[in-house]
């Protein structure tokens, strides 16, 4: 399975999905850049999520709040106090640093610990947990994950603020604005996609845990007594979203977060986990945040953020919030892992031996970065190249398209299969006479001749 991880990382680099950031300087702190195909895949994931939230569901509106916010926001939300901190341990011998809960999880997979510093000595003595180098761990220290920065030219305490560690706070601070401008009635939701930053102690596993990432979050405001019902509703909806995009059922599960591991704002939480090559890991959190955020922002800002059912604002009650929060990067990684297939002996005639493997990236049609590749049968016949370029020009304004004339046709099919391209459109000698092309379907490998004038409509039909 570790093997799969290496294959995905290698494919991502080789075919332009993900590059290490600042690579020419040796990379930088687990940051990554999304290449030409990566950005298309990422945009598709965001588009599908946005449509799911704002089009398929009623009463969800969008927002794009700023990354930098008043530091008062983070005080009110609890992120500046102990709430948003991990426990950091350092090895006395090799000085390696790690998250204490990771050390425990590695030492005792599946066991739930009461992760408090005062229990440190007991846990270490009882289980004799040591660093890989044999050294002892120092006492864990609280480490706040927020990234500090300064606003304006003077770097003093008064100008300190933070890069947001989650996108949702902008939704709470705009609660009243949205309520009033859109005349929303509870229950309703606000969806947002944007960057978030966390100074992770131990970023790892490729794009799974990074310090800069993107989140797609939806906050559902509802009457307090209806929050358990909506929690279950959103849990189901979100699991179905992954399944509808082709994630295999056996690779997805929902895990109830034990009470002692709940984030500071949550009354209840479920992690939607994906079976990555390195184990079951969270890709999305569903949280019942109760009235934690609205009541705290009300208290700290002095603004009344209660909801009045009769007027839509003013006196009344604090709605409860069900949050669905998914990482774009983590879900992209899960989609890549799930779509990756190897076909022994090959799918195309260019495969030389029965042992040789051909890679197929079976991404859902809505996610596939490239919808069609236009391929002249050979590149040394100017009339074929000219015709193929005309077809490419015709398709390009309609879908993400590639033109490829390098190598044998079989090799070019393989290249496109490897990145999940849905249709390979070949321009051959018959195309010159009949004004048609062959369209090869990625999944069935069936080829069909289609008139060039009907191509856009036919592909559009298949993409629906």
Interacting residues with ligand ATP (CB under 6 A): 166, 198, 200, 209-210, 213, 215, 282-285, 325-327, 329-330
Q: How far is the CB of 228 from ligand ATP (least distance, A)?
A: 19
Write down the least CB distance from residue 245 to ligand ATP, Å: 15
Closer of 282 and 338 to ligand ATP (Cβ): 282
Question: Which residue number, 188 or 213, has a Cβ lying nearer to ligand ATP?
Answer: 213
Smaller CB separation from ligand ATP, 192 or 421: 192
* Cα gap 418→123, rounded to integer Å: 47
| The token pair that represents 176 in the structure block | 């009243």
CB of residue 200 to ligand ATP, shortest distance in Å: 5
Which is closer to ligand ATP, CB of 237 or CB of 458?
237
Alpha-carbon distance values, 313 to 172, 181, 320, 428, 455 (Å): 14, 11, 15, 66, 52
Q: Which of 427, 348, 339 is nearest to 382 (CA)?
A: 427
Q: Rounded to whole angstroms, how far apart are CA atoms 269 and 285?
A: 7
By DSSP bridging, strand 279-290 and strand 268-276 are antiparallel
Closest CA to 224 of 292, 320, 310, 321: 320
The DSSP line for 149-161 is EE-SS--SGGGEE
Q: Which is nearer to ligand ATP, 83 or 345 (CB)?
A: 83
Q: How far is the CB of 250 from ligand ATP (least distance, A)?
A: 20
- Tokens 């609205």 belong to 294
Separation between Cα atoms, residue 247 and residue 364, nearest integer Å: 9
Minimum distance from residue 306 beta carbon to ligand ATP (Å): 26
Of 109 and 134, which has the nearer Cβ to ligand ATP? 109
Spatial distance between the Cα atoms of 362 and 382, rounded to a whole number of angstroms: 33
Radius of gyration for the alpha carbons in the chain, expressed in angstroms and rounded: 26
Handedness of CA 362, 367, 369, 375 (dihedral sign): positive
Cα–Cα nearest to 285, from 310, 321, 313, 309: 321
Taking the complex as a whole, the smallest distance from the CB of residue 163 to ligand ATP amounts, in Å, to 13
Contact partners, residue 423, CB within 8 Å, separation at least 6? 371, 372, 373, 439, 440, 441, 442, 459, 462
Tell me whether residue 211 or residue 396 sits nearer to ligand ATP (CB atom): 211
Q: Given the complex with ligand ATP, which of 282 and 405 has the nearer CB atom?
A: 282
Shortest Å, Cβ 329 to ligand ATP: 5
Of 199, 200, 181, 198, the C-alpha closest to 190 is: 181
Cβ proximity to ligand ATP: between 32 and 392 the closer is 32
Q: 460, 409 in Cβ contact below 8 A?
A: no
- Between 44 and 215, whose beta carbon lies closer to ligand ATP? 215
Question: Closest-CB residue for ligand ATP?
Answer: 327
Task: Output the smallest distance, CB 263 to ligand ATP, in A.
Answer: 6
Rounded least distance, CB 373 to ligand ATP, Å: 31
Least distance to ligand ATP from the beta carbon of 90, Å? Answer: 20
Give dist(CA 96, CA 91) in Å, integer. Answer: 5
Q: Is 30 left (phi over 0), alpha (psi -120 to 50) or beta?
A: left
């Amino acid at each position: 399975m570790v093997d799969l991880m290496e294959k995905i990382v290698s494919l991502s680099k080789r075919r332009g999905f993900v590059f290490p950031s600042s690579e020419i300087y040796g990379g930088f702190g687990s940051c990554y850049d999304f290449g030409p195909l990566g950005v298309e895949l990422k945009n598709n994931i965001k588009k599908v999520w946005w449509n799911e939230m704002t089009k398929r569901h009623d009463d969800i509106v969008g927002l794009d709040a700023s990354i930098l916010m008043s530091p008062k926001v983070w005080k009110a939300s609890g992120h500046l106090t102990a709430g948003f901190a991990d426990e950091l341990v350092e090895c006395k011998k090799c000085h390696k640093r790690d998250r204490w809960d990771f050390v425990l999880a590695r030492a005792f997979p599946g066991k739930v610990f009461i992760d408090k510093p005062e229990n440190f000595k007991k846990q270490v003595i009882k289980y004799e947990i040591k660093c890989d180098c044999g050294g002892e761990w120092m006492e864990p220290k609280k480490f706040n994950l927020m990234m500090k920065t300064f606003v304006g030219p003077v770097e003093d305490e008064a100008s300190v603020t933070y890069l947001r560690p989650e996108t949702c706070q902008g939704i709470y601070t705009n609660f009243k604005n949205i309520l009033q401008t859109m005349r929303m009635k509870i229950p309703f939701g606000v969806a947002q996609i944007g960057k978030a930053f966390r100074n992770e102690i131990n970023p790892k596993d490729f794009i799974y845990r990074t310090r800069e990432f993107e989140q797609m979050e939806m906050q559902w405001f509802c009457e307090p007594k209806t929050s358990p019902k909506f929690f279950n509703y959103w849990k189901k909806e979100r699991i179905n979203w992954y399944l509808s995009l082709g994630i295999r059922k056996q690779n997805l599960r929902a895990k109830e977060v034990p009470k002692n591991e709940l984030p500071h704002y949550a009354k209840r939480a479920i992690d939607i986990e994906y079976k990555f090559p390195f184990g079951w890991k969270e890709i999305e959190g569903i949280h019942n945040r109760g009235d934690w955020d609205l009541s705290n922002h009300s208290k700290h800002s002095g603004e009344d953020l209660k909801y009045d059912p009769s007027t839509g604002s003013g006196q009344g009650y604090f709605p409860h919030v069900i949050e669905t929060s998914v990482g774009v990067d983590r879900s992209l990684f899960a989609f890549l892992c799930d779509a990756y297939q190897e076909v022994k002996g090959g799918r195309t005639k260019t495969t030389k031996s029965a042992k040789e493997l051909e890679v197929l990236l079976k991404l859902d049609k809505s996610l596939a970065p490239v919808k069609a590749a236009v391929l002249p049968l050979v590149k040394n016949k100017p009339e074929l190249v000219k015709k193929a370029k005309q077809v490419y020009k015709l398709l390009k304004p309609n879908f993400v398209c590639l033109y490829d004339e390098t190598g044998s046709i079989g090799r070019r099919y393989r290249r496109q299969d490897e990145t999940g391209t849905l249709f390979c459109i070949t321009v051959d000698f018959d195309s010159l006479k009949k004004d048609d092309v062959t369209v090869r379907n990625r999944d069935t490998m069936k080829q069909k001749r289609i008139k060039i004038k009907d191509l856009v409509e036919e592909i559009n039909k298949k993409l629906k």
